[in-house]
Structure 1
């Protein structure tokens, strides 16, 4: 464990770790399965909501770790996500005159939805899927027909995050699984399966 401190200890090492975790959360949030299956609408708003929920999983789990370096990463991740939202808006042609207002609105939704997800994750584990399903429906992330499956996916990811050792997070790796992740290994989608 002591060998990891030089890699994560300095500002550049923390930034590299946060960037690696960010790349993983973006790959997981933007993986095509929930969009292609119709569970989540394939548009910018819903993709940003999926990024928010994936970021909330990291923001919930990293501060629970004993390593000070991991406790500091959520702020770097939040900044990276906001920079990504800003870049996406600019790519869509949003001009400088209105970008601040639009990004402010995105930030309010990001922290509101993310906070609701973290509150659910901190609550009763037995009620987690129901709480997540209610959040997904209330925020329009998924409709009633897909919200239960998506909630089960995020609950399964939360279980994997709880079980993941700190070393993997320190190396910039989080236990993302493609949709639909389940808490029952016998029904988990096999890697490379179609």
Structure 2
């Protein structure tokens, strides 16, 4: 007789190619020029970081409930951290300073994620306010509303995908040109 000791099995580790594909899609979308040109996201290191965090948050939010989602989320977050570490070193940040900066990145990610989770559960206006504060430096509320509309459309598109498509990186973010202009 076989005993169902599933909790003794090794957790499923996501395929590295899947993590690279998903993270690549997040980075590519966060670099979309329309965010910077038409939606007022500052084309700075901070602006690019904040847009990357927004897209990572949306994907992690979708992946959490799928089977094996915890491992996939962790691997994706780890890939984000590796990327941030590499970027710091490429910018010439010294080895002694990197851990402090990485801690700041982690705190920023978790703070923004918590704010976005609360806001999206409340209303589009609450999400716009959170995006305005975190991405648009507290100004440009109209652009923040357009960005909130985009974030809602992207999270809705992700929610509409079946789990296998999400896990295999067989999807795309919506174009900000199509959804970011609505009110």
TM-score of the superposed pair, with normalisation by structure 1: 0.78
Q: Distance in 2 between matches of 1:43 and 1:132?
A: 22
Counterpart of 1:109 in structure 2 is 108
Alignment of 1:87-126 (within 5 A): 87-121=86-120, 123-124=121-122
Counterpart of 2:125 in structure 1 is 130
RMSD across aligned C-alpha pairs, in angstroms?
2.2
Larger Cα-atom Rg = 2
Alignment of 1:12-161 (within 5 A): 13-37=14-38, 39-65=40-66, 67=67, 69-121=68-120, 123-124=121-122, 127=123, 129-141=124-136, 143-161=140-158
Q: Distance in 1 between matches of 2:119 and 2:178?
A: 18
What is the total number of aligned residue pairs between the two structures?
Answer: 170
The structure carrying a bigger helix percent of its residues is 1
Unpaired runs of 5+ in structure 1?
Answer: 1-8, 188-194
Counterpart of 1:6 in structure 2 is none
Structure 2 residue matching 1:97: 3-state secondary structure: coil
Deviation, structure 1 residue 71: 3.6
TM-score of the superposed pair, with normalisation by structure 2: 0.83
Unpaired runs of 5+ in structure 2?
Answer: 1-10
Deviation, structure 1 residue 16: 2.2
Deviation track 1:84-127 (CA, whole Å, cap 9, x = no partner) reads: 11111111111112111112111110111122223334x25xx2
Structure 1 residue matching 2:172: 3-state secondary structure: coil
